[in-house]
Amino acid sequence: MFTVLRWELRQRRAAIFWWTLGSIILTVAILALYPSIRDQANQLNKVINALPQGVRELKTGGASSVNVADPIAFLNSQLFYATLPILWIILAITRGSSVLGREEQSGTLELLLSRPISRGRLLVAKAGSLLTEFIIVGGVTLAAILIFAPLFDLHISSGRLAIATVYTVLFSISFGVIAFTLQAASSVTRRASVAIAVLVSFGGYLIASLSGLTDWLKTPAKFAPFHYFAPDKIMHGQLSFGLNAYLIGVLVLAIVVSYLGFRRRDIN
């Protein structure tokens, strides 16, 4: 199992480096904006809070009003609610759909399955490589946040920042797990895995964010994972039951569906 994990990370080392570097540059660039935004907070708050609620929620989630001078509100609206998740969801879906699917499509999966490694262990090793990749990208990005946030007057406790980053990683990776599970489960779901993961993530993001604009979106928004993702609340120390239930639900379903599906299905 660790042989496959090591191989995966070795093959991905260049990509992991660039994704990590990209995440750091984007994060530091956003953090560096804080002092100048804080200095113009009065005007910016007026502009942002004058926006229709739905448009405002595209950046802020469920926050009723925005004060960009507040470090938590700033990090929520500029970093944790949209920017980092969107970047990492792209990585998660790309990797989740390819870590097994690309190997099956190219035929190299047969090289592995002709060895004495059970399908279950292979599945765990592949999922482990996806997780490890995110631990590296998210871990280094967290280190950058912890180092640079105080330098730009964003004084929030390290623990709160760490929890917000961990939840952002877990939330982002959940969509990769959905793509991965659909790849593993059956040859039918394999073809639709990317589309479904994109629909649940970005479709859900739009529905959850725009639900403030119109009443009829309020009910479907409850089925969108983004509805439960509120980094500002996490940074205030409030852990969302809905978010935790979603993350645990995805994990449990992923384990059951991918194992039962992949264990006995035909390899194409």
Rounded to whole angstroms, how far apart are CA atoms 1 and 122?
7
SS3 153: coil
Terminal CA-CA length for the chain: 23
Indicate the residue among 12 and 233 with the shorter CB distance to another protein: 12
CB of 107 to another protein, least distance (A): 3
For another protein, the binding residue among 21, 32, 151, 267 (CB under 8 A) is 267
Instruction: Indicate which single residue of 106, 157, 158, 238 sits in contact with another protein (rule: CB under 8 A).
Output: 106
Which CB, 34 or 262, lies closer to another protein?
A: 262
Contact 16, 137 (CB under 8 A): yes
Pick the binder of another protein from 155, 215, 216, 266 (CB under 8 A).
Answer: 266
Toward another protein, which CB reaches closer, 121 or 218? 121
CA 21 to chain centre: 17
Scanning 51-59, 108-116, 150-158, 224-232 for contacts with another protein by CB under 8 A, the matching segment is: 108-116
Q: CB of 81 within 8 A of CB of 60?
A: yes
Q: How far is the CB of 94 from another protein (least distance, A)?
A: 17
| CA–CA dist 94, 77 (Å, integer) | 25
Euclidean distance between CA atoms 147 and 113, whole angstroms: 44
- List 117, 136, 163, 257, residue binding another protein (CB under 8 A): 117
Q: Which residues bind another protein (CB under 8 A)?
A: 3-4, 7, 11, 106-108, 110-118, 264-267
